[in-house]
Structure 1
Amino acid sequence: MGIFDAMNTSVGGLQAQSYALQNISGNIANSSTTGYKGIGTSFEDLIPDAEVPSKQVAGGVTAHAQATITTQGTISSSSVATNMAITGDGFFSVQKASGVVDNVPVFDGVNYYTRRGDFQVNANGNLVNGAGYYLMGVAVDPKTGNALGNVPTVLQFQNNFVPAQATTSIQYAANLPSQPNTLGSSTATSGSLVAYGGLNPSDFVSSPLPYVDATTTGTTVNNKAAAAITSATKLSGAAGSDSLTTDFAAGDTIVVDGTTITITAAGTGLQDSTHVRADDTVGDLLSAIGGITGVAPTISGGAITLHTGAMQDLSITSTPSADLSTLGFTSPVSQAHGTGNSVVTSNDVSTFTKESISGGAVTAYNATGTPVNLQLRWGKVDSASLGAGHSDTWNLFYQSNASATGTQTAWINTGTNFTFASDGSLTSPSGSGITIPNVTVGGQSLGSVAFNISSGGLTQYASTSGAVTINTITQNGYAAGQLRSVAVNNNGIVVGTFSNGQNLDLAAVTLSHFNGTNYLKAMDGGAYAVTDQSGPAIDGASGTISGSSLEGSNTDIADEFTKLIVTQQAYSANTKVITTANSMVQDLLNVLR
């Protein structure tokens, strides 16, 4: 080692400090870059080999980059709904377009990873950040919210269309007044049900209340047979056995309310809800009929009784007709569920309106997405104020035809008694609600609709207004809709807002992490590529996504300025060493003069 070695060492020092200055310069330049991770500088001494420690001298220096990828940047809010920020561990998975074909980006399938979350929707419906990287994620079913796979792909939301969803349930919560204030109550006879805000069936031409007999709801048809038919009687069999006198044979049919029950071969023939084997029992056949009508037929004293149900007519035909005859019926069997029962005709609408109160309205949708105005009214059909043997009981009605005239049905009773205890709590029905069968409004069929009531959701407390206080009335249907905009929520879910007013989940943004995060290779635009030292990307991360937010640069300007001063001083010191060594060489050369 000597003077020239000292000069070379100082030159190395200048190079190392220049490298540090370059990193400081880059950090300061990117102090406002979204998701930027600063690069520090670490210095490594280079000690020349020496035979003994006492001859060891200080060596040169080299500089290396020191990544700070794991250092969190400051999170700030953003007015852009598709901007995202990661708090904690994790990276967005992205791809870079390798080209464009017919104005559509083409990708080479190479994944990159970034913390830069300034994503916005481009013309093709992709979420692209400010550096041109395309966001990846997993699409979800907009109706169920379930993921449609587990492999992230480049997301695209162009022209997303959600089909119509029919209303299948209504969520309802309300307080019914203990003393309804109806138009009829003010003029009613004192002490009468109407005076207590109730609905009196005798005031109607056709009773609006459901018909109820001792066994079931609906009218009945009894056969004339006196034969000792039991549920165990076979539909066909050998003479003298407990079987019908006229056999049912394979291929015979019984049509119940439009649904066909087919008799199949004995022994091994098909048997399900619409197929009965020829050697099955009368009980099996009646169970199949009951499965269609909703009310099981009964047998007593050899006579079979068919029930229509509360809200439907009964129609049964058989081929051959002798099959019904052997059961004691004349084919075809046709019976209405009861004229006027459970409905309010147009002639009675005025009385019904005076003796009931509004239960609110909700826009429902049929299978094609056609909106239906579903109007509800409550009628109090019994009152505890009438004395012993009476209880506070209500019936719920819905308007089926706003344009009804004469004897046409205008309102339909849902067929359930809602009963309340003295403390205002609902005692019946005891479940979470009821099912309103075969709902049709203005000619638009909704099918059966669940009327859901959460625990404590329906009460009967005193109310000064005497009207229904509605807390919740919502339904789960909607019309078809076109995507209008997208946003990202704080769970990392891309939510689409559609023209039908629905906000539906479209995709889940996935996060990845690495065992060697700081060994990722930095790319242009704040992206990183996998290296051998970083290890492969691992799905899932402990970090969380914040919507409408951005992660800023993790550069600390004050710290960088401090480093800048130290670097400048170190650089100057190295030049002084070179100057001193040069002076010493000049002194040596002067010895020769």
Structure 2
Amino acid sequence: MGVFSALTTAVSGMQAQSYALENISGNIANSRTAGFKRVDTTFADLVPDSALNRQISGSVGAFSRATNSTQGDLNATKIDTNVAINGDGFFVVDKRLSGVGSNTTFNNASYYTRRGDFDFDANGYLVNGAGYFLKGQKIDTVTGEVIGTQPEVLRITQEQYPAKATTAIEYRANIPSLPATTRSKSDPANPALRLLNPANYGAGARNPLPAPGTGVVQGQDVSTFLSDSIPGGSVTVYDALGQATTVEMRWAKTVNAGTPPGAVDTWALFVAENTSATGATPAYRAAGQTVTFDGTGKMTAPASGNITLPNVTINGTAISGINLQVGTDGLTQNGDTSGQINARSIRQDGYTAGTLDRVSVTATGQVVGTFSNGQVKALAQIAVARFNADNALKRLDGGAFEETIESGAPIVGSGSSSLIGGNVEQSNTDIADEFSKMIVTQQAYSANTKVISTAQEMLRDVFSIIR
């Protein structure tokens, strides 16, 4: 029986080495397949039941051993929608069932892959090279909150990003305590010439101060006003339709500290409404509040730190409800030899409508869109799933995997892993290692054939006895 058992054992050895060679062949064939996880071969001895002093080494069985948890090299592709997982986890994907475009239907199942060569198709879906569609959750571009709780197939279209009307202008500047107005150049030592003098504008409706009077500079007084004020900078703002117009600001000092006794440095802000106005047509309009400073140059009023700009129509575009936000320390009054305003920052929060220019992926898995109007918004959150036993997942075509009882349920979330945009994970196959295994496998296979040859010779000797 020993010779015949040796024959069957050698055959099992040949079968096991053939199985190993099949895995080696597949690994080498997929050495350039993105996201591929090689399959190693493990061997187990098969021992027949027998008495303790009659036990034999037995035959062998070959089994596959997954390497799903072994990461391949990350390769930079410079394609913004490509993404690789640095650490454990899998992209959650789905397969198309039928239909095209917005009528595409999917399997409504979740598959898992490390293949991250995603790119947009003609309908705005992110699809990898094996035809799997990326799943995730949409993000509200206004609130920044994730919509829904379950991952769904992501579709990002080229729809317009709506315009936003300007509501606030962040203003950071230093106002000179002694403004160098045009009128003051005739007598620099006379502080009164650095002030806006209402008497130069007539009476009633032509009074340029916000109180008393209407706070309007008429076209016929523009030259006088320009000689009494200094420029405060300009900024482009937007209405609700995204139409742009430029807001030009000028500052005029109205009161010097101590004149009369107890007075504080006081300024008025004006907005250009129509700089080419003539006659009684409004050219500049004053803001609703006066601005005051104490002896240290700190702004004391308005206490809120907000200066409400007047409602004006500039070049046909109406602007309203805009606050000039200076905070508690954004606007100061300190000495400046130039006598001009030093505007450190003028920024507003409105923008025109825009279209999606490009997308990128952050380390946390957010799909971020950059729009033609300069806005950058998070559009979606890529779903990443982890498993307690990721090597127990079932392999599918195209580098995808399917959940099994042995793998456990998916844990949605990237955990300690990070996502790297513009990169793709390569196959974790090591060609040199596979060649080494192939040589060992070939030698083991040849050794098993030698066992069969030896057993054959021994049987021939047995048959020769009969002769």
TM-score past 0.5 threshold? yes
Q: Per residue, is there more helix in 1 or in 2? A: 2
> Does the 8 Å contact 1:493/1:508 carry over to 2?
yes
The one-letter code matched in structure 2 to 1:183 is T
The one-letter code matched in structure 1 to 2:435 is F
- Matched residue, 2:241: 368
Within the candidate set 570, 577, 586, 2:460 is matched to 586
Structure 1 residue 57: Cα displacement: 0.4
Encode CA deviations 1:450-500: one digit per residue, 9 max, x unaligned.
222355433344445443333332222222333343332333222233343
Residues 15 and 188 of structure 1: is their aligned pair in 2 closer, same or farther, counting only changes over 3 Å? Answer: farther
- Matched residue, 2:198: 201
Structure 1 residue 127: Cα displacement: 1.0
- Matched residue, 1:551: 425
Structure 2 distance, partners of 1:25, 1:177, is 80
- Matched residue, 1:99: 98
Determine if the alignment matches structure 1 residue 514 to structure 2 residue 396.
Answer: no
The one-letter code matched in structure 2 to 1:457 is G
Correspondence list, 1:29-108, <5 A = 29-50=29-50, 52-101=51-100, 105-108=104-107
Structure 1 residue 128: Cα displacement: 1.0
Encode CA deviations 1:352-389: one digit per residue, 9 max, x unaligned.
22333322222211122222222222223344597964
- Matched residue, 2:400: 527
Residues 556 and 467 of structure 1: is their aligned pair in 2 closer, same or farther, counting only changes over 3 Å? Answer: farther
Structure 1 distance, partners of 2:440, 2:326, is 72
- Matched residue, 1:452: 325
Residues 444 and 101 of structure 1: is their aligned pair in 2 closer, same or farther, counting only changes over 3 Å? Answer: closer
Structure 1 residue 583: Cα displacement: 2.6
Residues 102 and 209 of structure 1: is their aligned pair in 2 closer, same or farther, counting only changes over 3 Å? Answer: closer
Residues 590 and 403 of structure 1: is their aligned pair in 2 closer, same or farther, counting only changes over 3 Å? Answer: farther
Determine if the alignment matches structure 1 residue 435 to structure 2 residue 308.
Answer: yes
The one-letter code matched in structure 1 to 2:430 is D
Bigger shift: 559-568 or 385-394? 385-394
- Matched residue, 2:162: 163
Residues 561 and 482 of structure 1: is their aligned pair in 2 closer, same or farther, counting only changes over 3 Å? Answer: same
- Matched residue, 1:479: 352
- Matched residue, 2:130: 131
Structure 1 residue 209: Cα displacement: 2.2
- Matched residue, 1:504: 377
Structure 1 distance, partners of 2:185, 2:97, is 80
For structure 1, the 5+ residue unaligned runs are: 213-337
The one-letter code matched in structure 2 to 1:581 is A
Structure 1 residue 448: Cα displacement: 1.0
Determine if the alignment matches structure 1 residue 351 to structure 2 residue 224.
Answer: yes
Structure 1 distance, partners of 2:155, 2:20, is 42
Correspondence list, 1:10-409, <5 A = 10-50=10-50, 52-101=51-100, 105-188=104-187, 190-195=189-194, 198-205=195-202, 206-211=206-211, 338=213, 341-384=214-257, 389-409=262-282
For structure 2, the 5+ residue unaligned runs are: none
Task: Please give the TM-score of this superposition, normalised by the length of structure 2.
Answer: 0.89
Structure 2 distance, partners of 1:432, 1:90, is 49
Bigger shift: 428-437 or 2-11? 428-437
> Does the 8 Å contact 1:44/1:63 carry over to 2?
yes
What RMSD, in angstroms, separates the aligned Cα atoms of the two structures?
A: 2.7
Structure 1 distance, partners of 2:134, 2:289, is 53
Residues 169 and 572 of structure 1: is their aligned pair in 2 closer, same or farther, counting only changes over 3 Å? Answer: same
4+ residue segments displaced more than 6 Å: 385-388
Structure 2 distance, partners of 1:436, 1:514, is 57
Structure 1 distance, partners of 2:132, 2:328, is 49
Encode CA deviations 1:286-320: one digit per residue, 9 max, x unaligned.
xxxxxxxxxxxxxxxxxxxxxxxxxxxxxxxxxxx
Q: Which structure has the larger Rg over C-alpha atoms? A: 1
> Does the 8 Å contact 1:142/1:162 carry over to 2?
no
Structure 2 distance, partners of 1:87, 1:554, is 13
Determine if the alignment matches structure 1 residue 467 to structure 2 residue 340.
Answer: yes
Structure 2 distance, partners of 1:560, 1:386, is 92
> Does the 8 Å contact 1:209/1:415 carry over to 2?
no
> Does the 8 Å contact 2:361/2:419 carry over to 1?
no
The one-letter code matched in structure 1 to 2:236 is T
Residues 177 and 116 of structure 1: is their aligned pair in 2 closer, same or farther, counting only changes over 3 Å? Answer: farther
> Does the 8 Å contact 1:364/1:478 carry over to 2?
yes
Residues 551 and 173 of structure 1: is their aligned pair in 2 closer, same or farther, counting only changes over 3 Å? Answer: farther
Structure 2 distance, partners of 1:191, 1:365, is 41
Residues 580 and 164 of structure 1: is their aligned pair in 2 closer, same or farther, counting only changes over 3 Å? Answer: same
> Does the 8 Å contact 1:95/1:154 carry over to 2?
yes
Structure 1 residue 56: Cα displacement: 0.6
Residues 172 and 35 of structure 1: is their aligned pair in 2 closer, same or farther, counting only changes over 3 Å? Answer: farther
> Does the 8 Å contact 1:98/1:108 carry over to 2?
yes
Percent of counterpart pairs with the same letter?
A: 48
Encode CA deviations 1:127-160: one digit per residue, 9 max, x unaligned.
1111111111212222222223222221222342
Task: Please give the TM-score of this superposition, normalised by the length of structure 1.
Answer: 0.72
> Does the 8 Å contact 1:191/1:386 carry over to 2?
no
Structure 1 distance, partners of 2:312, 2:9, is 92
Residues 194 and 96 of structure 1: is their aligned pair in 2 closer, same or farther, counting only changes over 3 Å? Answer: farther
SS of equivalent to 1:504: strand
Structure 1 distance, partners of 2:4, 2:319, is 96
Structure 2 distance, partners of 1:485, 1:403, is 42
SS of equivalent to 1:194: helix
Bigger shift: 99-108 or 347-356? 99-108
- Matched residue, 1:426: 299
Aligned residue pairs total 463
> Does the 8 Å contact 2:95/2:106 carry over to 1?
yes
Structure 1 residue 396: Cα displacement: 2.3
Structure 1 residue 83: Cα displacement: 1.2
Structure 1 distance, partners of 2:17, 2:431, is 19
The one-letter code matched in structure 2 to 1:201 is P
- Matched residue, 1:316: none
Within the candidate set 408, 414, 438, 1:541 is matched to 414
SS of equivalent to 1:186: helix
Structure 1 residue 2: Cα displacement: 0.9
Structure 2 distance, partners of 1:13, 1:343, is 101
> Does the 8 Å contact 1:193/1:386 carry over to 2?
no
Encode CA deviations 1:331-364: one digit per residue, 9 max, x unaligned.
xxxxxxx4xx322222222222233332222221
> Does the 8 Å contact 1:397/1:413 carry over to 2?
yes
